Amino acid sequence: MPLSFRRWLPGLLLTAALPAIAHADGPAYGPELQGFEYPYTVKHFAFQSQGQSLQMGYMDVAAHGKANGRSIVLMHGKNFCGATWDSSIKALSEAGYRVIAPDQIGFCTSSKPEHYQYSFQQLATNTQQLLKALGIQKATLLGHSTGGMLATRYALQYPEQVEQLAMVNPIGLEDWKALGVPYRTIDQWYERELKLTADSIRTYERNTYYEGRWKPEFDRWVDMLAGLNKGPGQKQVAWNSALIYDMIFTQPVYYEFKNLKMPTLLLIGTSDSTAIGSDIASPEVKAKLGHYDVLGKEVAKLIPHSTLVEFPGMGHAPQMEEPQQFHQALLAWLSKNNPVQ
């Protein structure tokens, strides 16, 4: 594709001080989200992948209070970042967990390579290398949205390293292409991503994630995503986003839920209607997609050692919508299914 991207020097420090650029319609951030404030210190893991020097931004938050000796890895969604786990990091840390919240390659504070073969296997491998470098041999995984697909792939790829698996409104509870959603090319995704604005992001999330509802605190995350997409790295951000959407659409994990061996928790806001490609699906196909009130129950039956917790009336991100209720349910399950008890 005839794209001209700025090439970043290998080993470029993502901590370079690039301030947010003020715009009338909100801030603009650097290509690795420079200028956006994270709730905890962002560190960087440098590694080689596909012949390139890349860096993963991540937060490593120690247990506050009495440590329980366990680690939990938080995997963010497509329109989210490690920063959006802020309340969960606090709740889990206070409960005694060491919390690792990485930004995957292509997202947020991490590298946006010009050429990269995206797969959930590759992202799982990257994350496993990070955990190995941090001395973490076993962990609990908590994946949200696209992070739920990644957490599933990681658990299938490294089952001996995953003590527990928890997923929050994971996408991929259905195979959209098998249900008749048309294929959108990477070039089409790229053109779509170049047109993103804060208003379009807010409208999509309000209608799809929260069934028309909105809370003022969600605007910070809209500005984060919109600011990244309209900053000086707009083209490389949009191109990586297009590649990632293609990965999500073409690499289902749905057929392998039956192979998960560890205790697994599904945390489902039942008002969510997220479905990749539903905007270009026929009315007949669209009507069949994204029914989380049904999908959660169906997938819970496919996973051998599963527990389903539903949040009636909540949307795509119950951990952000009603943090206290969400974390009470999560921590109760984690304690009950503690593998070292």
pLDDT at residue 340, rounded to an integer:
62
What are the pLDDT digits (tens) for 177-232? 999 999 999 999 999 999 999 999 999 999 999 989 999 999 999 999 999 999 99
The Cα 152–Cα 166 span in angstroms is 9
Q: What is the mean pLDDT of the chain?
A: 92
Query: Model pTM?
Result: 0.92
What pLDDT digit, counting tens, does each position of 49-98 carry? 999 999 999 999 999 979 999 999 999 999 999 999 999 999 999 999 99
CB burial of residue 291 (10 Å; 0-12, 13-18, 19+):
middle
DSSP string, 257-326: GGG--S-EEEEEETT----TTGGGS-HHHHTTS--HHHHHHHHHHHSTTEEEEEETT--S-HHHHSHHHH
% of the chain with per-residue pLDDT over 70? 92
Percent with pLDDT over 90 in the chain: 90
Q: What would the DSSP string read from start to end of 25-62?
A: TS-B--TT-TTPPPSS--EEEEEEETTEEEEEEEEEEP
Among 173-177, 294-298, 333-337, the least confident range: 333-337
Domain ranges of the chain: 43-336
Q: Which segment of 12-21, 194-203, 278-287 scores lowest on mean pLDDT?
A: 12-21
According to the model, what pLDDT value does residue 26 have?
84
Is residue 102 predicted with pLDDT exceeding 90? yes
Q: Does residue 240 register a pLDDT over 60? A: yes
Hey, which residues does 61 pair with through a beta bridge? 99
Choose between 14 and 214: higher pLDDT: 214
Greatest CA separation for the chain? 56
Phi/psi for 157 (5° steps) reads -80, -35
User: Do residues 55 and 45 touch, judged by C-beta distance below 8 A?
Assistant: yes
Confidence at residue 341, expressed as pLDDT on a 0 to 100 scale: 52
Please state the rounded mean pLDDT for residues 105-130: 97
CA atoms of 241 and 329, how far apart (whole Å): 32
Q: What is the mean pLDDT of residues 106-124?
A: 97
The span from the CA of 150 to the CA of 285, in Å, is 25
Tokens 């919390």 sit on residue: 99
Question: Does position 7 have pLDDT exceeding 90, yes or no?
Answer: no
Choice among 12-26, 179-193, 270-284 with the minimum mean pLDDT: 12-26
Task: Label the pairing between strands 98-102 and 139-144.
Answer: unpaired
**Residue 99: strand pairing partners:** 61, 72
Pick the CATH number of 43-336 from 3.40.50.720, 3.90.1580.10, 3.40.50.1820, 3.40.30.160: 3.40.50.1820
Residue 6: its pLDDT value, please?
37
Token pair for 36: 């956006």
* Residue pLDDT, tens place only, 253-265: 999 999 999 999 9
Q: Is the pLDDT of residue 2 over 80?
A: no
Q: Is 290 left (phi over 0), alpha (psi -120 to 50) or beta?
A: left
